[in-house]
């Protein structure tokens, strides 16, 4: 446990440059500055590590970095996504609070590999403390001569800026994030073109999640194989899981990929008040909900969770006990997406409102025959038809809640009250 992003967690002032460097921090960056590592070597090592994007989609990071036209003329950018808005997620916050230099080093390495001399870290608007930590770390790194122009006479330039968001979930979508940095309304762009070709200010740009960047330096110093071996086939390394909900000890846990869910649950102190597990959302509110039996048999890695019928997503594990009314829970989730839809594309703008209003009507006691079919129908009409994945994210929970807990919905519609709470 706690071997990569959280390895210094128990040290005093873990966020300081001194602690970071004492544990080998910036050694990779210095090696690069000395000219001892090539971009190709770095990409090969990342590919060997099996690191997959920790922002939700799980795209192999090494492969992503290799897509950047590093030799094309003109400005290129590297951007870190610390918007962390997915309900259930709070891991990036703690990386920024306790290990900001790992993010800086990871981004600098990314900048070098992709020939991007400028980086931005887009930090969620509410994260004032993490933002200040990160700014403090940036100051230290500049003062230590680790960032800037022609760093240590290496000929390498890298300037890094933190950018505070303004509280929109959709700005975590990578192209909305770029719009937001550009000072525009945070609305996702349609693709193609992809950011690797037309990104920030129209220039080639790579966007990665905070945890992805924070893992890079250790992978390069200890080797891709070391990282891969921490995890399981197809899911290299360890992963931060934010465990929340009806557990005794909700927290972030950095564990090996492939760890059984029940072990993770135990680390979180088990169920609160000895209650019985009812359901688990394993990867953040956008991923399908699982029943207790299925969850207890699942391992926490990309394939394991997919086999169980959901997705690893951002590793945000929401645990629910028997007292949970699934109708009200889904209504709350639907409200979130309704509220956070950017509104530009029709299926998401209209569909999220429709889902929420229909669910609200049910929980207000005014459900009617055909509502379940209606909800399934509406979510199906959103799925796959939108500009960005927020639409899908809003649709997916509906389908899984109704599939796994249909009788609760039927009860609510028929009786006008919750089957669980009465």
Partner 1 sequence: MAKIEIEIDGKMVRAKPGEMLISVTDREGISVPRFCYHKKLSVAASCRMCLVDVEGAPKPQPACSTPISEGMKIHTQNEKSKSSQKAVMEFLLINHPLDCPICDQGGECELQDVAVEYGSDVSCFSEGKRIVADNDIGPLIQTDMTRCIHCTRCVRFGAEIAGIMEMGGTGRGDHLKIEPFLTEGVTSELSGNMIDVCPVGALTSKPFRYELRSWQMNSTSTIARHDLVGSNINAQTYKGNVKRVVSGDNDAVNETWISDRDRFSYEGLSHENRLLEPQIKIEGQWKEVGWHVALDYAVKGLTSNILNNHQSDQLGVMASKTSTVEEFYLLQKIAREIGSENIDYRLNIKNLDNTAKLESNIKLGGLEGVDHALIVGSNPRLEQPMINHRLRKASLNGTSVDVINSMKFDFNYQLNSENIIAPNQIASTLAGVLSSVLASVSIELPDYLQSIKVSKESASIAEKLNNSDNSVIVLGEHVVNAENSATIVNLIAQIAKHTNSTTLNLSTTANSLAAELTGFVPGSKGMNVNAMLESDLKAYILLDIYPEYDFHHADKAIDALNDKDNFVISLNGFKNDIVSEYSDVILPIAAFYETSGTHININGDMQSFAASVVAPGESKPAWKVFKVLADLLKLPGFNYVDSTQITEEVSHQAHNNHLHNENIDLSITSDNINIIWQQSPYSIDALLRHSGSLQQTKIGKLNFAYMNASVAKDLGVSADSKYLGVPVVITDAVADRCVFVNANKATQTGGES
Ligand X SMILES: Cc1cc2nc3c(=O)[nH]c(=O)nc-3n(C[C@H](O)[C@H](O)[C@H](O)COP(=O)(O)O)c2cc1C
CA distance 37 to 156: 13
Contact between 326 and ligand SF4 (CB under 6 A)?
Answer: no
Toward ligand X, which CB reaches closer, 169 or 405? 169
Whole-angstrom distance, CA of residue 153 vs CA of residue 378: 59
Radius of gyration of the chain (CA): 22
Identify the CA nearest to 41 among candidates 25, 62, 24, 61. Answer: 62
Q: Is the peptide bond before 192 cis (omega within 30 degrees of 0)?
A: yes
Answer whether 81's CB lies under 8 Å from 110's CB: no
Binding status of residue 144 toward ligand X by CB under 6 A: no
Among 354, 405, 409, 411, binds partner 1 (CB under 8 A): 354
Minimum CB distance to partner 1 smaller for 381 or for 417: 381
Q: How far is CA 410 from CA 54, 413, 420, in A?
A: 37, 5, 12
Judged by CB under 6 A, which stretch of 96-104, 116-124, 276-284, 384-392 contacts ligand SF4? 384-392
The yes or no reply on residue 387 touching ligand SF4 (CB under 6 A) is yes
- Nearer of residues 96 and 359 to partner 1, judged by Cβ: 359
Token representation of residue 146: 């680790």
Decide if 406 contacts 389 (C-beta within 8 A): no
Backbone angles phi, psi at 387, to 5 degrees: -75, -45
CA atoms 316, 256, 21, 45: torsion sign: negative
Q: Which of partner 1, ligand SF4, ligand X, none does residue 172 bind (CB under 5 to 8 Å by kind)? A: ligand X
Query: In Å, how far are 4, 234, 269, 282 from 288, measured between CA atoms?
Result: 28, 21, 24, 8
Pick the binder of ligand X from 25, 39, 85, 119 (CB under 6 A): 85
User: What distance, in Å, lies between the first and last C-alpha atoms of the chain?
Assistant: 42
The rounded distance, in Å, linking the Cα atoms of 272 and 248 is: 5
As measured in angstroms, the least distance from the Cβ of 65 to partner 1 is: 24
What's the min distance (Å) between Cβ of 291 and ligand X?
26
Chosen residue from 96, 146, 348, 358 binding ligand SF4 by CB under 6 A: 348
- For residue 177, state whether it binds partner 1 (rule: CB under 8 A): no
Check residue 25 for interaction with partner 1 (CB under 8 A): no
Tokens of 121: 């870290």
What number of chain residues touch ligand X (CB under 6 A)?
24
* Of the candidate residues 170, 228, 271, 398, the single one contacting ligand SF4 (CB under 6 A): 170
CA nearest to 224, candidates 14, 4, 32, 8: 4
Q: Residue 3 in 3-state DSSP?
A: coil
84 binds, among ligand X, ligand SF4, partner 1, none (CB under 5 to 8 A by kind): ligand X
For residue 386, state whether it binds ligand SF4 (rule: CB under 6 A). Answer: yes
Residue 81 contacts which entry, partner 1, ligand SF4, ligand X, none (Cβ below 5-8 A, type-dependent): ligand X
Instruction: Count H helices and E strands in the chain, helices first.
Output: 18, 11
Number of chain positions touching ligand SF4 (CB under 6 A): 15
Q: Is 367 in the site for ligand SF4 (CB under 6 A)?
A: no
Per-residue binding letters, 22-61, with ligand X (x by CB under 6 A): -------------------------------xxxxx-x--
User: Per-residue contact track with partner 1, 136 to 175, x per CB under 8 A?
Assistant: --------------------------------x-x-----
Which of 19-27, 196-204, 210-218, 374-382 is the region at the interface with partner 1 (rule: CB under 8 A)?
Answer: 374-382
C-beta of 325 vs 348, nearer to ligand SF4? 348
Nearer to ligand X, 236 or 367 (CB): 236
Distance CA 301, CA 307 (A): 10
Residues that bind ligand SF4 (CB under 6 A): 170, 187-188, 341-345, 348-349, 386-388, 390-391
């Amino acid at each position: 446990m706690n071997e990569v992003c959280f390895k210094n967690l128990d040290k005093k002032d873990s966020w300081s440059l001194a602690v970071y460097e004492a544990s080998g921090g910036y050694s990779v960056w210095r090696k690069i500055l000395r000219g001892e590592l090539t971009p190709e070597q770095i990409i090969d090592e990342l590919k060997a590590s099996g690191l997959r994007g920790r922002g939700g989609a799980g795209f192999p990071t090494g492969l992503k970095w290799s897509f950047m036209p590093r030799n094309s003329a003109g400005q290129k950018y590297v951007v870190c996504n610390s918007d962390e808005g997915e309900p259930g997620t709070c891991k990036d916050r703690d990386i920024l609070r306790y290990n900001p230099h790992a993010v800086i080093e990871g981004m600098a390495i990314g900048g070098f590999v992709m020939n991007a001399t400028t980086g931005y870290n887009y930090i969620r608007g509410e994260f004032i403390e993490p933002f200040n930590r990160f700014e403090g770390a940036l100051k230290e790194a500049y003062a230590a001569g680790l960032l800037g122009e022609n760093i240590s006479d290496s000929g390498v330039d890298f300037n890094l800026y933190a950018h505070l968001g303004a509280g929109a979930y959709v700005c975590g979508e990578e192209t909305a994030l770029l719009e937001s940095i550009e000072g525009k309304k945070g609305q996702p762009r349609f693709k193609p073109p992809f950011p690797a070709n037309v990104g920030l200010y129209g220039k080639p740009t790579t966007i990665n999640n905070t945890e992805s960047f924070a893992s890079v330096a250790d992978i390069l110093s200890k080797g891709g194989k070391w990282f891969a071996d921490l995890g399981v086939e197809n899911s290299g390394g360890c992963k931060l899981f934010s465990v929340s909900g009806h557990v005794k000890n909700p927290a972030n846990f950095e564990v090996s990929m492939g760890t059984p869910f029940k072990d993770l649950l135990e680390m979180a102190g088990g169920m609160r008040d000895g209650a019985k597990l009812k359901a688990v959302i394993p990867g953040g509110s956008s991923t399908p909900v699982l029943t207790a039996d299925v969850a207890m048999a699942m391992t926490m890695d990309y394939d394991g969770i997919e086999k169980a019928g959901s997705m690893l997503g951002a590793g945000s594990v929401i645990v629910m006990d028997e007292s949970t009314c699934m109708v009200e829970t889904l209504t709350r989730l639907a409200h979130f997406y309704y509220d956070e839809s950017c509104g530009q594309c029709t299926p998401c703008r209209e569909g999220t409102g429709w889902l929420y209003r229909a669910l609200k009507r049910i929980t207000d006691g005014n459900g009617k025959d055909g509502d379940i079919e209606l909800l399934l129908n509406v979510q199906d009409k959103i799925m796959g038809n939108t500009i960005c994945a927020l639409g899908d994210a809003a649709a997916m929970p509906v389908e899984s809640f109704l599939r796994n807990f249909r009788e609760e919905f039927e009860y609510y519609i028929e009786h006008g009250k919750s089957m669980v709470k009465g």
